[in-house]
Homo-oligomer: A and B are copies of this chain.
Amino acid sequence: MNDFNVIGKSVQKKDGIPKVTGKALFARDIKFESMLYAKVLRSKVAHALLKRVDTSKAEKLPGVAAVLTSKDIPGSNRIGIIMKDEPVLVDDKIRRYGDALAVVAAETEEIAEEALNLIEVEYDELPLVTNVYEALKEDSPKVHGDTNLLTTRTLIKGDVDEAFKKCDVIVEKIYKTNYYAHMFIEPEAGVSKYENGLLTIWASTQNPHFDRGEVARVLGLPQSKVRVVQAETGGGFGGKLDISTQCFLGLLTYHTKKPVKLAYTREESMEVSSKRHPHIMKYKTGADKNGKLIAMEAEFIEDSGAYASYAPAVITRAVVHSTGPYEIPNVRVRASMVYTNNPMAGAFRGFGVPQVSIAHEQQMDMLAEKLNMIPYDIRIINALRVGSYTCTMQKLEDSIGVVETLEKAREKAEEVILNSTCELSSRKRRGVGIGCMWYGIGNTGLPNPASAFLEMHKDGSVTVMAGCADIGQGSNTVMCQIVAETLGVNYEEVNIISADTGSTPDGGATSASRQTYISGNACKKAAEMAKESLMQVAEELLNSPKEDIILKNKRAYVKGHEDNNVSLQEILSRCAAKGIMIVGSGYFNPNTTGLDPHTMQGVPFATYAFATHFIEVEVDIYTGEVKVLKVIAAHDVGKAINRKMVEGQIEGGCLMGMGLGILENLQVENAKMKTLNFSNYLIYTAKDIPEIYPIIVESEESTGPFGAKGVGEPALIPVAPAILNAVHNAIGVRFTEIPLTLEKVVEGLNNKFN
């Protein structure tokens, strides 16, 4: 059964060679004849009524081809993935620093820049809203409409009030998380072109099909007249899910009919791309004397900044994951998402789950401490298992590997950490902490299908067309592996065309760790439809029913009678002689239900990934520096389609998680971001990688392609909580805010010892 040829193998990434040799074409690299260069005029105030944008002087500057404002938008001037609350170009009110007021296309970037200076803007400033509590007061200035309360969520399972009465131990704590920036290496960029009645945009993006819809709406065109092609994308992490250059490019090419390029500077990207939602989370968790969890109550307040972006998805996901991967019979969570004039928050690897994991994992450790248990045991006791009910009352039935990740991680930790014999100077203290996580694959309680087309060519090689955007995470490779295995052909002979709305069907967003599971299933279904045609002929040639026939190594074999076989080439020749073509299409939508609007009970995800990290840290008690020494990262990914790529995701996730926990420190003052580039927003780089021990747990998911689930975001999530628990283990101080800067550590130590 598990005797795979391609699945589970660390085949070479499809984009590996082009990227390491510098041949891959990013949007910045794309050039067309007579191409114009665009620049965006952005607001230098955060809240104001826009009175006038006078472009007349800019228009007269030689070399300027177009200066557009909101009045030049032929269709809708409101965009957004969930709520259409963001203007392409401001028409009434400025709501944040960096809001776009006008866009220029000129013969050179320099002329475009110069033209920006010639645009006159007049506005009336309004008082700022920068604090979520202030924002919710009745007399607060409003960012949109008549309330700053963007949305709320309430989850109710069981009777929390009664349950707390039965608890032997209860811990309560307030946790806070900051803004974070994705810091993808390639700032947003795109190129547009108009040809044969079709407007095409090449963009650095995670969701070309969404982009296509938005551009079409903004231009008032049918979607079939707009083509968005994902250019090679230098990272995204959620930050390239919102519209960036796409609508500006669409507008400029719509009006000039010329090719246009728009490439953001790092500072521009930093200012306007979405950030991780800052959370304030009040947690109360109770257990019986044996450590069995009985009740949990939580209250979240989250800052969406000036626009909604992915806020409704982030708040939902945060709430349904708020318990961590544990069964708690009574749960009540209330969450509020607030508009402010702060930087826009949005999708960021983990969608709110990294935030809540800071809380639930420390709650677990504190309960264990009170009960005099070890952190491992309290987790094992409460971990979700087959038959458990989640906080949304979803009964778990398949592929629940959290216990196995705990066991495997502990085993490895005993080998590489607990026996660690390193000498420590007195100023350096070491500690070990655990972080567990669960993560629902795909959108939360919403349909989110993906589709694919496929053709096998006359020589048995295959082209698969999938909407799914590979932003470096390797989905192109995974899709080709799935197709190769399904059709019994070589991985190398499968080519993929992806993320081109003109030739690939919708794959949905590359987000929510969904593409392996969802687009993977879509590719598998398309391959299975094509396989049906092959089987028609194989049945004849092998004189056996298709149920007994397997395709492998470019041959068809009769199961149990492997000497009865025929080459794929022979099957294809017979197909050709009969006029049978080997084509297929398919889509897959995970089996979920909507959540009850009052209690959030339901089936938000068809499947979940699980993980346990054991992390060893060293804390310098003089400087407050926290250094991660070792990470044991056990991940239940279902089936690992490509082991090396799964390990790569885990390693990358660890580094980003360390940044979240310790280093990355975004500064916002009066709604204005102060840290706009790598010189003041530090991230960990290759030289900071600790010893990482990835462990792949394969609790195969019956609905997944060959049992696969996902790993993209999970890799990040358990890192910061494990670090916080390890720091507590090292120095006995519990920190409830991230990032754990030098100052915070020193302050924590001072509070403890003074």
Contact = CB atoms under 8 A, between A and B. Distances in A.
Interface stretch (A76-84, A394-402, A499-507, A623-631): A499-507
Contacts of A581: 449-451, 505-506, 587, 589
A459 to B, nearest CB: 5
A577 B449 CA distance: 10
A576 B504 CA distance: 18
A585 B587 contact: no
A495 interface: yes
A47 to B, nearest CB: 34
Greatest chain B CB density within 10 A among A14, A198, A222, A529 is at A222
Contact of A225 (B212, B453, B461, B505): B461
A493 B216 CA distance: 12
A222 B23 contact: no
Interface in A353-390: none
A497 interface: yes
A3 interface: no
A548 to B, nearest CB: 26
Contact of A463 (B224, B447, B462): B224
A447 B579 contact: yes
A463 B529 CA distance: 21
A196 interface: yes
Contacts of A213: 457-459
Interface in A581-597: 581, 583-587, 589-590
B500 A503 contact: yes
A526 B583 CA distance: 11
Contacts of A529: 585
Nearest to A24: B196
A11 B391 CA distance: 57
A492 interface: yes
A599 interface: no
Interface in A500-547: 500-506, 526, 529
A593 to B, nearest CB: 11
A158 interface: no
A195 B25 contact: yes
A17 interface: yes
A503 B467 CA distance: 12
A143 to B, nearest CB: 29
A455 B505 contact: yes
Given A18-B197, A503-B504, A583-B586, 12 more contacts: A213-B459, A223-B458, A223-B461, A224-B457, A447-B576, A449-B579, A449-B580, A453-B585, A465-B465, A500-B503, A506-B581, A579-B590
27 contacts: A17-B196, A18-B195, A24-B196, A25-B195, A213-B457, A213-B458, A213-B459, A216-B459, A216-B461, A222-B460, A223-B457, A223-B459, A223-B461, A224-B457, A224-B463, A224-B493, A225-B495, A447-B578, A448-B579, A451-B583, A453-B585, A455-B506, A503-B503, A505-B583, A506-B581, A526-B585, A581-B587
Q: Across the A-B interface, give the 6 residue pairs with the lowest CB-CB distance, nearest first.
A: A447-B579, A579-B589, A503-B503, A585-B585, A224-B461, A222-B461
